[in-house]
Amino acid sequence: MSRRAPKLGRGVALVGAGMSKFGAFADKTSRDLFVDAFNAMTKSMDKAINTEDIDALYVGNYSSDLFEGQGHIAPIMADWVGLVPKPATRVEDACASGGVAIREGIIAIASGIYDIVLVGGTEKMSNLPTEQVTDTLASASDATYEGSCGFTFPGLYAAMATAYMDKYGASVEHLMKVGIKNHNNGALNPKAQFNKTIKDLMNSRIEKAKQKGEQIPDWHDEIDFLRDPRANPVVAWPMRLFDCSPITDGAACILLVAEDLAKNFSDDPIYVVGTGQGSDHALHERDDLTSILSARIAAQEAYKMAGVTPEEIQIAEVHDCFTIAELLAIEDLGFFKHGEAFKATEQGLTARDGLKPINTSGGLKSKGHPVGASGVGQVVEIWHQMRGEAGPRQVPGKDIRLTLTHNVGATGGTCVVHIFQRR
């Protein structure tokens, strides 16, 4: 592409970030979750923010329409945190809605029209039966050419996984190792939906069998556990239950401000130095299922804008809606060569104490995946890690100055990447 290098007219900084607890909350709507996230965000800030000073709201949401029968949620969210009559805009790009809402916030500040922008994401999914949630999510694929053939997302990602395994020789055990790592991280995240390691889950199943006097399963490690269909049934081979992110209710909020105002709001702001977004054809139209064009495009643009290389990124939150998705992500982002991510994961390079820690929050797999909120939730983790405030899951021995988030919509119809710097 002959396109000129993308450049923003004004710098943008991150001065606050917070999220609701992720999980299944029968008594909460998306607006309640949003208020929880907003309050967590204000609590995260070094200096108090007066809501009257916020110029606008962008909110990422996949389908409150289908999940809750509530469209037009942006002004409702604005109202519930006291922002009326400020502009309130919903942005939707499936599971990348949150990340794209952040991009719109960045662009708006860069344009000069706003100085201070609240970006949120919210999704309330658990009130529908599982099959209906699966169908609702499936409408983010190409409903005419994929959904109509019976494809839902576990099946679409299963197709990508088998293509990857066939091309590079990866096994189901390699996929399992992504989930094991992310649960190891999520176990240390009090806001995660599943804050237990897979070993913990295995041991508690063994304990239960003992107590009931049942036959004790022959599990020596997590891989034994995950191979056992009683513990980890196949959803769409090779995707088993523990390869899939859960159905989650949750919200996240961040506050973006013009770079020159950052010190008014934070002693230690984080600067947004790169943003990129791309689109791709629906999965059935692609020649290659083992790499996502929109992700490569988004990453290229973000790296170019930031003037950095993949090697310089210290930690990243990437879109692991399925275990295979994390492998594709860290290859498309240039962290590892194509066909190498599964080996890198096996070698522990993406673990919290590895060379390139990925999804220290627990990722979508363990932290949870309230689809429209996930892209914003990624930045909450980045905020805590970069400020050294991530508690027991703080990445050890690193002064974290450069990070990345990677948020995918559907099978990659959308991808958005952001790069953050602490100066």
Catalytic residue status for 149: no
Least separation in angstroms between CB 402 and a second copy: 21
Q: What is the Cα 375 distance to its own chain's centre?
A: 5
Instruction: Pick one of 20, 29, 182, 345: the residue that binds a second copy (CB under 8 A).
Output: 29
CB-nearer residue toward a second copy: 94 or 262? 94
**What is the C-alpha separation between 336 and 38, in angstroms, rounded?**
36
Q: Does an H or E element contain 323, and which?
A: helix 323-332
Least separation in angstroms between CB 287 and a second copy: 13
Least separation in angstroms between CB 115 and a second copy: 8
Q: What is the Cα 322 distance to its own chain's centre?
A: 11
Interface residues for a second copy in 65-94 (CB under 8 A)?
A: 65-66, 68-72, 74-76, 78-79, 83-94
Q: List the one residue out of 111, 123, 124, 122 whose CA is nearest residue 56.
A: 111
Catalytic residue status for 253: no
> Which one of the spans 52-60, 195-203, 212-220, 395-403 is the region binding a second copy (CB under 8 A)?
52-60
- The number of residues that bind a second copy (CB under 8 A) is 74
Instruction: Pick one of 36, 104, 320, 332: the residue that binds a second copy (CB under 8 A).
Output: 104
Interface residues for a second copy in 375-394 (CB under 8 A)?
A: none
* Residues 379 and 252: beta-carbon distance below 8 Å: yes
Instruction: Pick one of 413, 417, 419, 420: the residue that binds a second copy (CB under 8 A).
Output: 413
> Which one of the spans 7-15, 124-132, 237-245, 322-330 is the region binding a second copy (CB under 8 A)?
7-15
Which of the following is catalytic: 369, 384, 406, 418? 369
The contact pattern for a second copy, residues 206-245, with x = CB under 8 A and - = no contact, is ----------------------------------------
> Which one of the spans 122-130, 180-188, 350-358, 405-413 is the region binding a second copy (CB under 8 A)?
405-413
* Residues 96 and 407: beta-carbon distance below 8 Å: yes
Residue 214 in 3-state DSSP?
coil
What residues contact 121, with CB distance under 8 A and at least 6 apart? 59, 60, 61, 97, 98, 101, 251, 252, 253, 370, 372, 373, 374, 375, 376, 377
Which two tokens mark 11?
Answer: 């710098």
CB-nearer residue toward a second copy: 55 or 381? 55
Q: Any contact of residue 133 with a second copy (CB under 8 A)?
A: no
Residue 42 in 3-state DSSP?
helix
Instruction: Name the β-bridge partners of 23.
Output: 249
DSSP string of 105-172, one letter each residue: HHHHHHHTS-SEEEEEEEE--TTS-HHHHHHHHHTTS-TTTTGGGT--HHHHHHHHHHHHHHHH---H
Q: List the one residue out of 270, 334, 269, 275 whose CA is nearest residue 306.
A: 275
Instruction: Pick one of 23, 278, 357, 368: the residue that binds a second copy (CB under 8 A).
Output: 278
CB-nearer residue toward a second copy: 185 or 414? 414
**What is the C-alpha separation between 105 and 115, in angstroms, rounded?**
10
Least separation in angstroms between CB 9 and a second copy: 4
The contact pattern for a second copy, residues 140-179, with x = CB under 8 A and - = no contact, is xxxxx--x--------------------------------
Q: Any contact of residue 260 with a second copy (CB under 8 A)?
A: no
* 153-168 vs 130-138: helix crossing angle, rounded to 10: 70
Q: Any contact of residue 52 with a second copy (CB under 8 A)?
A: yes
> Which one of the spans 61-69, 310-318, 336-344, 373-381 is the region binding a second copy (CB under 8 A)?
61-69
CB-nearer residue toward a second copy: 224 or 285? 285
Question: Which active-site residues does the annotation give?
Answer: 95, 369
